[in-house]
Structures are given as C-alpha cells and as structure tokens.
Amino acid sequence: MLAGNVVHLDPAPAMSEAMIEGWTRQQRSRFLKDQTIAARIRMIRRFSEFTNLYPWQWTPAEAEAWISDLRSGDRALALSTIRSYEITVRLFCEYLTDNRYGWMQVCADRFGSTPQLVFHEGNSVLHIGDYEGSPRRRPLTYDEIQALFDAADGRAEKIRADGRKGALAAMRDSAMLKFCYAFGLRRSEVCNIDLVDLRRNPQAPQYGSSGSVAVRFGKASRGGPAKRRTVLTVPEFDWIVDVVEHYLTEIRPAFAPGAHPALWVTERAGRISPRSVNAALTAARDDANLDPILDLHCLRHSYVTHLIEFDYPVRFVQEQVGHAHASTTSIYTGVSNEYRNQLLTRAMRNRHGELWSES
C-alpha cells in the first residue's frame, strides 16, 4: 500500500488513507457487498473526525468518549446500532494490529506508536439476547391486517375521487403489500421478484401460476451469494391468487412496462425500489391509524405467527421464510392468547379426557 520510493510531505494523512484503502481491499477479497464496505469506511472516517487523531493514536479513552457522545443526543440510538459501530471500529483495528499486514512495524518506525484495539470486552456492548429490536415491534393482529389492507384499497378510491394522479400506483401498492404478507417476503425480495418467479405447484393446480414464488434474491450470509428458496401458496392465503391475477391483467399492463421482467413496476416502467415499498406501507398504516412503530418487516413477523397459529410445523414455516435456524423463526413468532388457550385446552383434554371437559 505504501510506495517505497515516494516521500510524502505530510506522511501521517497518507498513512491513514493507505490503511483505509488496505482494509477496503481486504473486505473486497471476502466478497462483501460494496454498500457494506462503504458504510464501514464512512464509520471509520466518522470516528477519526471525532477523535481528530490518526489510527495509531487511538486509545480506548477516545472510543469510550465517542460512544458517550452518541448516547447523549436527543435521539437515542438502538443498542444493536451502537454495537454495530463498535464492531466496525474493532474490525478495522484488528486489521491494523494483524502482523501479516505490517502496519504495526511501519507505524512504530515512522511515528513511534502503534495501533491498538480500542474496543474490547470491557468497554463494548455484549450480545446476550436473541432479539434486541424494539419491544413495540410485533406481528399485526388479524384485525390490524384487515384494517391495513382496507386502507390500502381505499387510497386508490380517495385519490381518484380527489382528481389527483396516483390512483394506479395506489392500486399497485395495495396488491404489493398483500403479496408481501401472503408470502412472508422481505422488502428487497419483493422488489426483485420477476414475472418468471411466479410458478405453478403441481400439488395445487387450482392456484395456477401463483402456486409458488421463487425467491432468487434472499438475504445472503456475510460474504456469500443471495440465498434461494421457493415459497408455496398455502390454503389460508389462497386469496392472493385473485389479487395477483387482477394485478397482472388490469393494473400492470396500464404501466406499459413493455418487456421489463419485474413483477412490480413503476410509472416509468422501472423496477420498484425498497424505499417505495416502505412508503406504501407507511401510507396505508397511517391511513388505518395503526401504531407508527409497525413497518414492512412486521408483515413478515405476522406471516410467521399466523402460519404457526394455523398449526403448520415450525420446520415448514422455517423453510417458507428462509431462516437457517429454527431459533430465528421463534423470534418472529408472537402467537395470540387465543391460540395458546387452544393449545392448553387440547393438552388438558389429552391428559384428563372427558373428566376435564365436564369440569
């Protein structure tokens, strides 16, 4: 990273930039996504600006002052967010202190000090819980799901009645939100669904081309390719078949998408963006007067929960949503008291038979 035949007038900034460039290359060799690398580099520069020091001058004291400053703002950062900041800085420091890269020796020779790990077990947020999101985030109830979809349907009618543009997009958004819920999709997954991903299920021919959805751009593991899975249409969500058919025959052609492969297209005949999906959920949620904390991912939580309440095996649900571990699926599950009472009733009858029923 440092040319031996070049003498810098101000070597410290050049050294700092060389360190960042070297770490960037290391992460690219691990096939991390460009947006992941860019976000990490921005975080390192942000920390460096706060300390007004170079990486070989950083100490745990600066790191702790930075976290204290972040926590003192008007808007409190989530625990997981703070930990991600700490992990990013620690990864950078681990790269600098790895003797295989030679930064320790170069810094000692040129500046008389060496990089060190500024975040350690004693001053870092520990990951001790399976779920660290806001406790207000939860699955929607059946009534809330209905209210959300009613509000989404009503937006198109209201826009048309007001004589404004956007009724067609509102109809698309309504169908898209229902699609997200009926197949338990993430926002990036629904954006990347193409027409060819709608497939028949030989075991359920009555669903036509909506018998299953091939998800080709599922959430990737760190440094790995996008995961693939096939989500089957289940009987409790078979209403989505009519929704998709209406969208394909009446709504999508009105956008004049031409040969564009995407299922969900924009007014300019392009692929829908994740931001637009979020905006569709937010608009319907606000019109339905639902809790502002509820977001698009809550529909995925709802899908998992409702499949469990429909008595589908956890393994089946896990495969439907593409979780690597059943423990992740359990985090998404928030079954209702009514469902738990049904399980309790069933267990009591199995144990005590008619004697319990009569009592």
pLDDT at 358: 45
Question: Is 158 a known active-site residue?
Answer: no
pLDDT at 359: 46
Catalytic residue among 178, 252, 300, 301: 300
Q: Which CATH class is domain 11-111?
A: mainly alpha
Question: Is 323 a known active-site residue?
Answer: yes
Catalytic residue among 186, 187, 285, 301: 186
Question: Is 297 a known active-site residue?
Answer: yes
Residues with Cβ < 8 Å from 238, sequence gap 6 or more?
207
Asked: is 142-294 a CATH 2.60.40.1120 domain? The reply is no
The one-character DSSP state at 359 is -
- Cα dihedral sign for 11, 13, 15, 18? negative
Catalytic residue among 42, 219, 228, 346: 219
pLDDT at 335: 60
Q: Nearest CA to 299 among 344, 240, 357? A: 240
Catalytic residue among 90, 227, 229, 297: 297
Burial class (CB in 10 A: 0-12, 13-18, 19+), 225: exposed
pLDDT at 311: 87
Structure tokens, 217: 């751009």
Question: Is 127 a known active-site residue?
Answer: no
Residues with Cβ < 8 Å from 292, sequence gap 6 or more?
285, 286
pTM: 0.75
Structure tokens, 351: 């144990």
Catalytic residue among 85, 181, 207, 332: 332
Question: Is 137 a known active-site residue?
Answer: no
Q: Provide the β-strand partners of residue 232.
A: 212
pLDDT at 226: 85
pLDDT in tens, 105-146: 999 999 999 999 999 988 888 765 555 556 667 899 999 999
pLDDT in tens, 145-155: 999 999 999 99
Stretches where the chain sits below pLDDT 50 are 358-359
Q: Where are the domains of the chain?
A: 11-111, 142-294
Question: Is 332 a known active-site residue?
Answer: yes
pLDDT at 81: 87
